[in-house]
Amino acid sequence: MSAPRLVRGRGIVKGRARGPALVCQEPISFLGDVDIRTGEIVGALPSVRGRSLAGKVLVFPMSVGSAGAWRFLYQLYRHQTHPVALVCRELPDPSVVQGAILALIPIVCAPEEDVLRTVTDGAPLEVDGSGEIRVG
């Protein structure tokens, strides 16, 4: 077994979490793309539609925001159907950051490599919200 690979990025929300990667190739909106009761992705996101983000590290390009996105991310937390961490290529919108702070979900963005290509779906990830992602 090889040692985990370290990928650095910009830490946005502090905290640590571990879980399997759910790699979503499309931008995601927590307001409408996710069923808060089940964590199932119900939006038109072909790479992950019908799958649950509960307990996963969501790896995605960017959030599609609205001022109310924080409530949906927080409700996922309240229903225990939330992702354990978020890793995104672009800086997430402020409402997603606010929801992640309330739900204690670490966020790392702008990783030094294109994790949408280099992280395989289901790969074990450990996210440190100070800016580190361990793959493997």
Q: Within 13 Å of residue 30, how many CA atoms lie on the same side as its CB?
A: 35
Work out the end-to-end distance of the chain between its first and last CA atoms, rounded to an integer number of angstroms: 9
Residue 133, CA distances (Å) to 59, 62, 69, 98, 119 in order = 11, 17, 24, 21, 11
Contact assessment for residue 91 and residue 12, using Cβ atoms and an 8 Å cutoff: yes
Q: Which of 47, 52, 66, 130 is catalytic?
A: 66
- Confirm whether 66 is a catalytic residue: yes
List residues with catalytic annotation. Answer: 66
